[in-house]
């Protein structure tokens, strides 16, 4: 990343903000080994998105489950948070970020220690019965036998993340809009934010005159229409630069984490 004063500017705005929030998508988890949907190596290059339509799933759950298991469960269950997730969680501990609104379903923000996380699109960790709505931790189901079924009523279990043509969790969506109404700074990391409600949330933030900082590999529609400060680059690298600009009291242990020493190795 070029030294062009942008991370200094971003750090300054974060210091000035009263209620900053992070807004994340698939790009923040790319360095954890989870592919994004679009772009180079994206999931849609391999898989037809129509399999993730709720109507298709309801008709042919076994077909969709075989794909879901391969592209999501086989990867997400082994993925570890990366430096960008950890730095956001430290920023929350330091009161610099109040909430993370994420479109991700991979639970890596919580795994990194973030407490206040709004999962707009749900999570892979929970399964829900399509017949009686009983909820399960995914580890209760044996995904070697697909589709998984409900212990109560034998209905098919569905991952509790949002499929195409399916409604978003209403409470979470409302909480996200409430957060946007409070925020004076949105730090976008790794998303095109093309779909509803991501796009509407950011438009609302703009209307409310919140500052918008965007970290993405490439410019997006958001860059062109809403962003005040675009920092082009890899989420992990940029977040590390930002952390260094902020306190970096080394509470985040940036260097050790970057060398791959994580979790319990770090006091």
Q: Which residues are near Zn ion by CB under 5 A? A: 129, 131-132, 134, 150, 152-153, 155
Whether the Cβ atoms of residue 246 and residue 15 lie closer than 8 Å to each other? yes
Neighbours of 138 (CB within 10 A): 18
Residue number with CB closer to ligand NAD (121 or 150): 121
Angle at 64 between CA 66 and CA 142, to 5 degrees: 45
Q: Cβ of 26: how many Cβ atoms within 10 Å?
A: 22
Task: Give the binding range for ligand NAD (CB under 6 A) out of 103-111, 147-155, 204-212, 244-252.
Answer: 103-111
Under the criterion CB under 6 A, does residue 25 sit at the interface with ligand NAD? yes
**Binding positions for ligand NAD, 183-202, rule CB under 6 A:** 190-193
Q: Contact with ligand NAD (CB under 6 A): which of 199, 234, 248, 258? A: 234
State yes or no: residue 239 binds ligand NAD (CB under 6 A): no
Residue 36 is a binding residue for ligand NAD (CB under 6 A): yes
The answer to whether 92 and 100 are in contact (CB under 8 A) is yes
Q: Residue 35: in which H helix or E strand, if any?
A: none
Q: Is 177 in the site for ligand NAD (CB under 6 A)?
A: no
Least distance from ligand NAD to the Cβ atom of residue 154, Å: 29
Give the full edge-to-edge strand order of the sheet including 20-24: 117-119, 99-102, 20-24, 185-189, 211-216, 229-232
Contact 236, 28 (CB under 8 A): no
State yes or no: residue 217 binds ligand NAD (CB under 6 A): yes
Give least dist CB 152 to ligand NAD, A. Answer: 28
The answer to whether the CB of 123 falls within 8 A of the CB of 138 is no
- The interface partner of residue 150, options being Zn ion, ligand NAD, none and the CB cut-off 5 to 8 Å by kind, is Zn ion
- Tell me which of ligand NAD, Zn ion, none is bound by residue 152, counting a contact when its beta carbon lies within the kind-specific cut-off of 5 to 8 angstroms: Zn ion
Under rule CB under 6 A, residue 106 binds ligand NAD? yes
Q: What is the distance between the alpha carbons of residues 166 and 136, in angstroms, rounded to a whole number?
A: 20
Any idea which residue has 């979470």 for tokens?
A: 172
Kindly tell me which residue out of 13, 27, 64, 206 binds ligand NAD, with binding defined by CB under 6 A: 27
Q: 34, 81 in Cβ contact below 8 A?
A: no
Q: Which residues bind ligand NAD (CB under 6 A)?
A: 25-27, 29-31, 34, 36-39, 42-43, 103-106, 121, 190-193, 216-218, 220, 234-235
């Amino acid at each position: 990343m070029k030294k062009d004063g942008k991370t200094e500017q971003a750090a300054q705005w974060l210091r000035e903000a009263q209620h900053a929030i992070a807004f994340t998508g698939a790009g923040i988890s790319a360095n954890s080994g989870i592919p994004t949907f679009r772009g180079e190596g994206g999931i849609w290059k391999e898989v037809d998105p129509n399999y993730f339509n709720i109507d298709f799933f309801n008709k042919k759950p076994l077909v969709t489950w075989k794909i879901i298991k391969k592209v999501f469960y086989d990867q997400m269950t082994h993925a570890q948070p990366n430096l960008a997730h950890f730095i956001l969680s430290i920023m929350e501990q330091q009161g610099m970020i109040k909430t993370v609104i994420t479109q991700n379903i991979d639970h890596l923000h919580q795994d990194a220690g973030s407490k206040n996380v709004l999962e707009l699109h749900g999570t892979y960790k929970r399964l829900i019965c399509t017949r009686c709505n009983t909820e399960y931790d995914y580890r209760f189901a044996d995904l070697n036998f697909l589709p998984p079924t409900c212990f109560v009523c034998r209905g098919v279990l569905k991952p509790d993340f949002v499929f195409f043509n399916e409604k978003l969790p209403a409470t979470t969506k409302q909480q996200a809009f409430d957060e946007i109404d409070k925020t004076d700074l949105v730090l976008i990391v790794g998303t095109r934010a093309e779909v509803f409600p991501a796009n509407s949330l950011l438009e609302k933030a703009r209307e409310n005159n919140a500052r918008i900082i965007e970290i993405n590999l490439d410019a997006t529609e958001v860059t062109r229409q809403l962003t005040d400060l675009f920092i082009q680059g890899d989420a992990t690298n940029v977040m590390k630069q930002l952390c260094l600009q902020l306190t970096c009291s080394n509470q985040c242990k940036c260097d050790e984490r970057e060398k791959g020493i994580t979790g319990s190795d770090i006091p």
